[in-house]
Amino acid sequence: MVDHGVHAFIVPLRDDAGQLLPGVEIHDCGYKVGLNGVDNGAIRFTHVRIPRVNLLDRFGSVDKSGRYSSPLTSQGRRFAATLGELTGGRVGLCSGSVGTLKGALCIAIRYCAQRQQFGPPDAQEVAVLDYQSTQQRLIPMLATCYGLHFAKQLLVDRYCEMKRTKDHKLVEEVHALSAGLKAYTTRFTQNALSVCREACGGHGYAAVNRLGALRSDHDIFQTFEGDNTVLLQQVSGLLLKEYRSQFQGAPLSSTFAFLRQLAASSLPNNPLVTHETDVRHLRDPSFLASALEYRTARMLFTLSLRLRKHTPRVGSFEAWNK
């Protein structure tokens, strides 16, 4: 018997009368931290048989003689294609998380603009939002919220294009974008929800402000459709794969090729080299993008060197874990 990896099947759970079929057990997961309107449950199958035609066979099929065939050549590609169906869920979680962030910031900033506390002697009390400590907590998060809104919109557009064209390269790009953005957005929003609650003081703890409910309902977003830590490691792996394909060859020659490209792309814009430190340059989007690209490339380069150093001694799995 050959193991061809994970595949999806349709398995009937109940008969026409609504009773569970033989060998099928269903259990409710009970109350959760949040999102209790979502009815999560567990299913156990014991010696349940289904017909061959119940296989969802886009990525692999079995004919009447029992012969397996697939349009995808390797088990790894089939597994990636099967998991790729989670991409739509991650796109949805990005959208939902950004929406939650917008709502929490709107509640907190409006409250802090109206709430007055202390002030100069013999003068009117000052709005909490006028204090620099409050501004430093909320305004950078508001700016990031704008950035995440446009990043999410880009992801949605790419996802729609991917579903329309089925382009293989676009599938890989959307997979990486959705994994990375889902992990970053949901983690940022969860931290922001706590900051927004604290910025509203004792009033933020009142249920009527919804900040507590938002925080509880959003918490699961960090493990929905993939744990955030694992998703970020997936993104690292995809970036490394792209990096290696770009600089194939002997380790020494590929290293020099990378360093030449890195120097060529970073020197023209580097303020330390060009002494161009005026505000116009430092706030230029093209400079900021090139600086982030340089940092990403350098981190990938050093990561690749470290993996190459440890792999011969402990193997690829332990090297990655290290």
Rounded Cα gap, residues 205 and 95, in angstroms:
26
Q: What is the mean pLDDT of residues 35-57?
A: 91
Whole-number pLDDT of residue 106: 96
Comparing 104-113, 134-143, 183-192, 266-275, which segment has the lowest mean pLDDT?
A: 266-275
Closest CA to 84 of 4, 159, 181, 190: 159
Rank 11-20, 207-216, 298-307 by mean pLDDT and report only the highest.
Answer: 11-20
Whole-number pLDDT of residue 224: 87
Q: What is the mean pLDDT of residues 193-205?
A: 91
Q: What is the pTM of this model?
A: 0.81
Structure tokens at 143: 């700016």
- With a CB cutoff of 8 Å and minimum separation 6, the contacts of 8 are 55, 56, 82
Taking each helix axis from N to C end, the angle separating 87-114 and 168-199, rounded to the nearest 10 degrees, works out to 30
Residue 26 has pLDDT above 80, yes or no: yes
* DSSP string across 199-248: HTGGGGGSGGG-HHHHHHHHHGGGTTTS-HHHHHHHHHHHHHHHHHHHT-
- With a CB cutoff of 8 Å and minimum separation 6, the contacts of 172 are 238
266 pLDDT band, cuts 50/70/90, is low
Q: Residue 69: which H helix or E strand, with range?
A: strand 68-69
Q: What is the mean pLDDT of residues 120-134?
A: 88
271 pLDDT band, cuts 50/70/90, is low
Rounded Cα gap, residues 26 and 46, in angstroms:
12
Q: What is the residue-averaged pLDDT of the chain? A: 86
More confident residue, 106 or 255: 106
